[in-house]
Chains A and B, each alone.
Chain A
């Protein structure tokens, strides 16, 4: 059918608004700090074939591949066989998922007994079983990381609210009050998406709505291609490094080769380290998300809807058996570090082609710190996600103390932690002056949090990166600072590795420090006024 431009504009904006409402309600009705405060979840509307049409822009990492994760479900349970109340659930990294904690739910949306699309949501669940609360840094394989949900079909009436699937989940999680509440928030987000799509179908007709869902993907594709055409043809390479696998000392290279030809980009990660025995492996879906996000952020204006169309001009490959495409059943919980290096390597490759569009490497690390405690009332689990300083660009200093570019988690207010947890107290939360690399524009600052442990029997689990390898500057900029984690126990200082798990004692003081971003351009070119301001405000170490 022919689509009036104005109908197309109106309906497509309504689809984006509906996805945004889904995301807002997912977060606002959630229970765990990781979803409600850190907002580690996403939501989307898909067409009847499972292609992403519109997404709530919450977490870039989860946004790249919702559609890919849908396909294994539809292969097992064809769309035309679905009934009212059915839904798909999946978290298996080896069936298109990312890590087990991200559980994806897909609800078909019916109009006149026909599926016109799907409502999708994903949330990072605080605990999904496995060898240790919230995070098991010692997992040797994916089985030790939590409950695996292969592509499955369930039904709301039969399997939720006291039904099979809900009871299975409830029996496998340590903090069911929070986890099951978060699943309800996902269900609610999908229900809202379904109602909004049905309203649009009633207002404009299924045929027009379906045409717009296709056109919106074509639109994102057209804008992505228009942006890629601006990049000079050629082959470009970039490399960055993960500190180590948490067991040995060897740095793990991540290498991107980017080939631009006309309106297409191919990204290949050949030359990247082989997969490792610890949980730092990134499932291929995660690698795709990371690389797509880098291209989108560097080349396009932020208002392009990130949907299946935006991904069409970009092909991504990584050797099977590598850190970025591991073989089953390698553990994958801490996938973000390798993903961030894939992002950095892609960005560095792009820096050779379009130096004014890119960002220098930032701290660009997901640091997950978990403090947990078991008492007579059950488990109490506090998980927080830390970013660091951003890298600088040709136009600007890097942003201080903010979540990394593939993520967008908020902090938990200290006063909320004071209310919710009695087994530790935050003593300090501050910027780290001098942690940003110097340059014509300087890198953003890292920050630290310091905790006093108030009970015996508390456990600390941690994964992070860039404790040893600093983010390298671009075009003469200085590198950014590293991170660290240490325990002060009386007169003794215990340094932790970037991937670690330790028992704590009452009176311990734990410092978790994240680093800054690298600079962009020769420091000699920095505006003296900016330099004076940094000194006066204490953003750099003086003398």
Chain B
């Protein structure tokens, strides 16, 4: 049996497949010890550990270690003169009018930052040799005395010439073998010293936490009889065997949202759809991503708690718009939704746990698109009267009735998500109308059609069990390693040969690594060039098919880059502008075999035939349907509300929904 377990902030989700059998379970998370929730999920799914052949795990352990500052005790070592780079950062402020502005706080104290005399320039030439005697005399005793778990090394220009980092690593390892060492040229081999140092330090900070967690997880599973393969999800959308995660813990950050995108892609692929805009709407936020031809987009970096992480991650934009987002009116009289949220406590007013401010979920209850007796498969009753009461003040301020105020709140929540989708589409030169909208998460499918209407999108694909798509993504994630390197070079006649050489080197190293990890089978490779006009500071990613490399010409590269630049910036390719490659990004992929079909988990719930739904200015009668009983080919014309275990789907007038052969629900706009 293949099992995916995703530990989220509130719930731990499990999806398991065995032949044609599909198990779906949702249990409360146990933040103090997330593995307990994970075992509970196995129990809830009635799955014995010994029956699990392939287990894929995603958790918020790494993320929480940083957010809660519960990582390792780390020392930072850098080139003499630059001890303060983690504190100087980039000299800018995120909020230009905040007089009490504080910089993001690195996870290393200033007193734990050390210098070594050495210098290499941008060409890789040694300007000042590393002084090994001084390292032994000054640095090593300080590291020995400091009680550190790990040391992060980031020397200037190590991205082009790592020999000083390697020499320093050897000196420290020889003297202090218990100390874990992270070197910047391995963690993030790209220029810009602050970003590289930040990534290296964060990596050193979370590595011991991840190691301890995986040790405990594996030991407990082993005692229970687990003998299968154990993999961990990464933020780049792929998985790696747990053993490999002992080197690259930093890629485990933000694996949950990445798993969701991967699950969405796999499920859409069964319906023959590859150009997707996915949106995962949960309790406090919505994650949006754009997928082309079944491939997710990668961003070269991300950040956590304001600190940069230079490692390729799935390009996901998050906005503070979820079911729990508060609806309020600001002191200028403008209606707002989010970013503040009612959270898990007190939660939306309709939960009856003391919340009095209206939320998006309350707006759904008021308008009728969440039926109070059908929430979470009927396991949690909601209080309609409290939802109405919560909207009284907002309605009075707007001069509207309560259903009018709720409808306005829904429209505004839709607008917030639409703007996030525009960030990943129109702002990057992609027209959302060319894509299928793929909603998931507990709150996504209720708003999908209204979001599609705003964007002009005509097709929506809702996967079965939309509330556990992340766990499905774990199961369907391929083995993946992504690596970036700085290779700054002007585009000229020699460039194609340079690309071929660099690619061949990566290909050989990656194949050897995957062999060592026991990952047999055919490997796929990807290659992306980070390019810009000479003089610019920000690169555009140009994807290259490795199969084209033997024939690739300089002119091809120039044309592809100019087209990408024009798409984003509305100009580019003027005569005489020289082009350069700044870096290369490689990926190696061991694809999984196909998964069996995935079905909606049934709910046994009494449903009336129809319910009233209050839209703007009118009340319509919506058919009420059970998602698990909607058989393939049957059409459900809007207005209709389709209820499921983990999420419900709203089909407005002018939309029609059909269950397709792959088990997905395809919604299409009917021409007016």
Q: Which A residues lie at the B interface, using CB under 8 A?
A: 4-6, 8-10, 12-14, 17, 21, 24-25, 27-33, 36-37, 39, 57-60, 161, 177-178, 181, 184-185, 187-188, 191-192, 195, 219-220, 222-223, 226, 293, 296-298, 300, 302-304, 306, 358-359, 386-387, 390, 393, 395-396, 399-403, 405, 408-411, 413-416, 418-419, 425-431, 447, 450, 536-539
Q: Name the residue on B nearest A36 (C-beta).
A: B537
Q: Name the residue on B nearest A301 (C-beta).
A: B331
A425 to B81, CA, bound (A): 12
Please indicate the chain A residues that have their CB under 8 angstroms from the CB of B215 in the complex. Answer: none
Please indicate the chain A residues that have their CB under 8 angstroms from the CB of B422 in the complex. Answer: 17
Q: A13-B419, A396-B100 are in contact. Are A539 and B110 (CB under 8 A)?
A: yes
Please indicate the chain B residues that have their CB under 8 angstroms from the CB of A5 in the complex. Answer: 334-335, 398, 400, 408
- Interface contact A296-B191, CB-CB below 8 Å: no
Q: Name the residue on B nearest A300 (C-beta).
A: B97
- Interface contact B91-A403, CB-CB below 8 Å: yes
A25 to B570, CA, bound (A): 10
8 sampled A-B residue pairs with Cβ under 8 A: A30-B536, A178-B535, A293-B97, A306-B97, A401-B87, A415-B192, A430-B88, A537-B110
A393 to B100, CA, bound (A): 7
Question: In angstroms, how far is the closest chain B Cβ from the Cβ of A354?
Answer: 12
Q: Identify which of B109, B192, B400, B533 contacts A416 (C-beta below 8 A).
A: B192
For the A-B complex with A57-B96, A414-B156, A429-B85 known, give 5 more contacts whose Cβ atoms are closer than 8 Å. A223-B331, A401-B88, A403-B92, A414-B82, A415-B122
- Interface contact A395-B100, CB-CB below 8 Å: yes
Please indicate the chain A residues that have their CB under 8 angstroms from the CB of B570 in the complex. Answer: 188, 191-192, 195
Question: In angstroms, how far is the closest chain A Cβ from the Cβ of B601?
Answer: 36
Please indicate the chain A residues that have their CB under 8 angstroms from the CB of B535 in the complex. Answer: 31-32, 177-178, 181
Q: Name the residue on A nearest B407 (C-beta).
A: A6
Query: What are the interface flags for B152-165 relative to A under an 8 Å C-beta threshold, 1 for contact and 0 otherwise?
Result: 00001101000000
7 closest residue pairs by CB, A with B: A428-B81, A31-B535, A36-B537, A223-B332, A418-B122, A6-B408, A411-B91
Pick the most buried of A161, A184, A300, A306: most chain B CB atoms within 10 A of its CB: A184
Chain B interface bracket (under 10, 10 to 19, 20 to 34, 35 or more): 35 or more
Please indicate the chain A residues that have their CB under 8 angstroms from the CB of B110 in the complex. Answer: 537-539
| Interface check B571, CB cutoff 8 A | yes
Please indicate the chain A residues that have their CB under 8 angstroms from the CB of B193 in the complex. Answer: 413-415
A411 to B570, CA, bound (A): 27
Q: Name the residue on B nearest A161 (C-beta).
A: B574
Please indicate the chain B residues that have their CB under 8 angstroms from the CB of A408 in the complex. Answer: 92-93, 96
- Interface contact A418-B121, CB-CB below 8 Å: yes
Please indicate the chain B residues that have their CB under 8 angstroms from the CB of A60 in the complex. Answer: 96-97
Please indicate the chain A residues that have their CB under 8 angstroms from the CB of B91 in the complex. Answer: 386-387, 401-403, 409-411
| Interface check B194, CB cutoff 8 A | yes
Q: Name the residue on A nearest B411 (C-beta).
A: A6
Please indicate the chain A residues that have their CB under 8 angstroms from the CB of B416 in the complex. Answer: 13
Q: A413-B192, A415-B122 are in contact. Are A9 and B81 (CB under 8 A)?
A: no
Please indicate the chain B residues that have their CB under 8 angstroms from the CB of A387 in the complex. Answer: 91
| Interface check B95, CB cutoff 8 A | yes
Question: In angstroms, how far is the closest chain B Cβ from the Cβ of A312?
Answer: 13
Please indicate the chain A residues that have their CB under 8 angstroms from the CB of B488 in the complex. Answer: 419
Q: A296-B97, A410-B90, A537-B109 are in contact. Are A447 and B84 (CB under 8 A)?
A: yes
- Interface contact A410-B82, CB-CB below 8 Å: no
Please indicate the chain B residues that have their CB under 8 angstroms from the CB of A395 in the complex. Answer: 100
Q: Which B residues lie at the A interface, using CB under 8 A?
A: 81-85, 87-88, 90-93, 95-103, 109-111, 121-122, 127, 156-157, 159, 191-194, 330-336, 398, 400, 408, 411-412, 415-416, 419, 422, 427, 488, 533, 535-538, 565, 568-572, 574, 577
Q: Name the residue on A nearest B414 (C-beta).
A: A10
Question: In angstroms, how far is the closest chain A Cβ from the Cβ of B70?
Answer: 19
- Interface contact A12-B334, CB-CB below 8 Å: yes
Q: A10-B415, A188-B571, A304-B332 are in contact. Are A402 and B99 (CB under 8 A)?
A: no
- Interface contact B101-A415, CB-CB below 8 Å: no
Pick the most buried of B85, B88, B331, B416: most chain A CB atoms within 10 A of its CB: B88
Q: A6-B411, A428-B82 are in contact. Are A411 and B537 (CB under 8 A)?
A: no
A390 to B85, CA, bound (A): 18
A542 to B415, CA, bound (A): 55
Question: In angstroms, how far is the closest chain A Cβ from the Cβ of B300?
Answer: 13
- Interface contact A419-B574, CB-CB below 8 Å: no
Please indicate the chain A residues that have their CB under 8 angstroms from the CB of B427 in the complex. Answer: 21, 24
Q: Name the residue on A nearest B102 (C-beta).
A: A399
- Interface contact B412-A6, CB-CB below 8 Å: yes
Please indicate the chain B residues that have their CB under 8 angstroms from the CB of A359 in the complex. Answer: 99-100
Please indicate the chain A residues that have their CB under 8 angstroms from the CB of B159 in the complex. Answer: 415
Q: Identify which of B88, B331, B533 contacts A181 (C-beta below 8 A).
A: B533
- Interface contact A36-B536, CB-CB below 8 Å: yes
A191 to B568, CA, bound (A): 12
- Interface contact B568-A25, CB-CB below 8 Å: yes
A57 to B98, CA, bound (A): 12
- Interface contact B93-A403, CB-CB below 8 Å: yes
Please indicate the chain B residues that have their CB under 8 angstroms from the CB of A403 in the complex. Answer: 91-93
- Interface contact A429-B82, CB-CB below 8 Å: yes
A27 to B536, CA, bound (A): 9
A195 to B99, CA, bound (A): 35
Please indicate the chain A residues that have their CB under 8 angstroms from the CB of B408 in the complex. Answer: 4-6
- Interface contact B81-A25, CB-CB below 8 Å: no
- Interface contact A415-B111, CB-CB below 8 Å: no
Q: Name the residue on B nearest A26 (C-beta).
A: B569
Q: Name the residue on A nearest B79 (C-beta).
A: A414
Question: In angstroms, how far is the closest chain B Cβ from the Cβ of A171?
Answer: 16
- Interface contact B88-A429, CB-CB below 8 Å: yes
Please indicate the chain B residues that have their CB under 8 angstroms from the CB of A447 in the complex. Answer: 84, 88
A302 to B330, CA, bound (A): 13
A60 to B96, CA, bound (A): 7
Q: Name the residue on B nearest A27 (C-beta).
A: B538
Q: Identify which of B93, B194, B412, B533 contacts A10 (C-beta below 8 A).
A: B412
Please indicate the chain A residues that have their CB under 8 angstroms from the CB of B568 in the complex. Answer: 25, 29
